[in-house]
Amino acid sequence: MQIYSFSPFGYEGALVTVEVDLRRGIPATDIVGLADGAVKESRERMQAAIRNSGFEYPGERVLISLSPADLKKEGAGFDLPVALGVLGAKAMEDGFSGFIDEPLLVMGELELSGRIRAVKGVHAAVSTAAASGIMRCIVPVQNADEAREIAGVQVYGADSLENAFRAMSDPSFYVARNMENGENMIPPGCINQDGVFFPEIVPGYEFAELKGQKQLVRALQIAAAGGHNLIAMGAPGCGKTMAIQKFPAINPVLTTDEAQSVTRIWSLAGLIKPSEPLIRIPPFRIPHQTASIEGICGGGPTCRPGEISLAHNGVLFLDEAAEFRSSVLQMLRVPLENGTISLSRAGRTTVYPARFQLLMAVNPCPCGNYGSHSKICLCSLKSIDQYWKKFSAPLLDRVDIRVFVENKAEENCEPEERPGLTTTEEIRTGVARAIKAQRKRQGIKNAQLSPQEILDFCALDTEGRKSLDNATLRYGFSPRAIASCLKVARTIADIAGAKDIAKEHMDEAIDFHKLCSTLPPEL
């Protein structure tokens, strides 16, 4: 019998070996192995839980070793493995030899009554254990479904210390999820749109409710289809925030591989719900404007994930983006480029995935009326210039789609009388067509194409090349901006079902990128 637990640190964490030695001496319990306060306190909880569960605590001197010794052990998840280690050592001393002859991963916090409480990081712990060949685990019953999302792992969800101890000698307690047809495990209510799955349309997520914002809706469709970053600017109340908040309705659900990495991050952050053990709906994170660099990028004693990692394979929406601190906005540049964020703490480094899609909504000036045809801007040129200094050219260069939202709401029209409205289902049709084309052609979204893949998949005809060359001269496009235009044009062609990029696709891509070619933008 060998018991392991898990010490989370950043995205990786490490397995911890739990060993117990009973020796003659004055009765006492010692824990060695660089344990923090919560782990040391487990000594008292463990003793009370063992006695209150009907077991006898060893009368000898108890030495509990948590190795590797140089790794700091944190959290209350060591309660259960330590208690089972003590009970196992006591049973073997009394002559019992019927324990399962396999390594066990054990996690759980104990109440004084012997009941087991849920802990965070179970998905990360079980996946790490499985990678090391440990295929049997005991976790709190609340975390059992989360643990079973790892293929092939035998899991027992324990509700009490007594049942957990019984499971150490009875293989029938453990159950593994049947992972056959795992790719088709779609959340209930999801809709199959030509082989691409979308979340169920719920009230408040119907794009037909938007009035007079065809250009913004089109931009959001392209962003969803290709995974492109987007900034929408316009006067207060024009509908940019309301439109972007409907974006999850046109964003396809995650594949199994994508969901596993998202679930691991959310598990480490303690955000997994028992009703949703595997995150299949793309995250949609909306941090507050007062968020710090640590809150956005991650950090703290155990390098907790920040908002950009919690938005991995999903969306990070910065509403009123100009109200965020400039340092926070500039920190987004490297993760947007690399899809990862590196965090360091106390001589240790961890790398979190951070492949998120950035959506921003911003007013064009402090008063919000800059560029309006019906209202007067009261801001000075200096204040407008200062306002836009938060958005550096390198940051905006990484935003493929820029759209100015005008306040064109047709307030006096009934919904059925407004022409040109696009429903969520109609938008999904184009998104699904583009997603299928991308999966078949290159296996990734167009926004993630490498320079070589752009050359391979974004070839232009003579007219399209001429349009791009003229725009480059007129707007001063950088090489990154040219690549953005090519990727957006590829997405527009995919939505249209076209094999090749035509001139009209390139012209539309240029129209969506030329805004903000200068700062402040020329509206």
User: pLDDT tens digits for 446-459?
Assistant: 999 999 999 999 99
> Among residues 204, 185, 300, which one has the least CA distance to residue 249?
204
Both tokens of residue 81?
């493995």
Least confident span in 166-180, 297-311, 329-343: 166-180
Amino acid 83: pLDDT: 96
Given its phi and psi angles, is residue 346 left (phi above 0), alpha (psi -120 to 50 degrees) or beta? Answer: left
How much is the mean pLDDT over the chain? 91
**pLDDT band for position 409 (50/70/90)?**
low
Beta bridge partners of 342: 351
Distance CA 266, CA 256 (A): 15
Helices (H), 196-355: 214-226, 240-244, 256-268, 293-297, 307-310, 326-330, 333-338
DSSP E strand stretches across 152-229: 154-158, 191-193, 196-198
2-173 maps to which CATH number? 3.30.230.10
Q: Above 90 in pLDDT, residue 521? A: no
> Among residues 240, 477, 445, which one has the least CA distance to residue 359?
240
Amino acid 410: pLDDT: 46
Residue entry with tokens 């801007």: 377
Q: Above 80 in pLDDT, residue 403? A: yes
Q: Above 50 in pLDDT, residue 183? A: no
Model confidence, pTM = 0.91
**pLDDT band for position 412 (50/70/90)?**
very low
Segment 326-335 shows an average pLDDT of 95
DSSP category for residue 273: B
Segment 78-98 shows an average pLDDT of 95
Amino acid 355: pLDDT: 97
Burial 454-470 (b: 16+ CB within 10 A, else e): beebbebeeebeebbee
What is the share, in percent, of the chain residues with pLDDT greater than 90? 74
Q: Quick: pLDDT tens for 92-141.
A: 999 999 999 999 999 999 999 999 999 999 999 999 999 999 999 999 99
Residue entry with tokens 């899809």: 339
3-class DSSP assignment, residue 118: coil
What is the share, in percent, of the chain residues with pLDDT greater than 70? 95
Distance CA 125, CA 134 (A): 11
Q: Is the dihedral of CA 60, 66, 68, 73 positive or negative?
A: negative
Q: Above 60 in pLDDT, residue 415? A: no
Q: Above 90 in pLDDT, residue 247? A: yes
Both tokens of residue 180?
């056959």
Distance CA 30, CA 37 (A): 13
Amino acid 517: pLDDT: 66
Least confident span in 35-44, 110-119, 287-296, 355-364: 35-44
Cα torsion for 92, 97, 101, 107, to the nearest 10°? -40
Amino acid 499: pLDDT: 92
Q: Above 90 in pLDDT, residue 18? A: yes
Who's near 299: CB < 8 A, 6+ residues apart? Answer: 293, 306, 343, 345
**pLDDT band for position 346 (50/70/90)?**
confident
Amino acid 523: pLDDT: 62
* Residue 108 or 372, more confident: 108
Both tokens of residue 145?
């479904």
3-class DSSP assignment, residue 305: strand
207, 249 Cβ separation under 8 angstroms:
yes
Output the 3-class SS for 65-114: EEECCCCCECCHHHHHHHHHHHHHHHHHHCCCCCCCCCEEEECCEECCCC
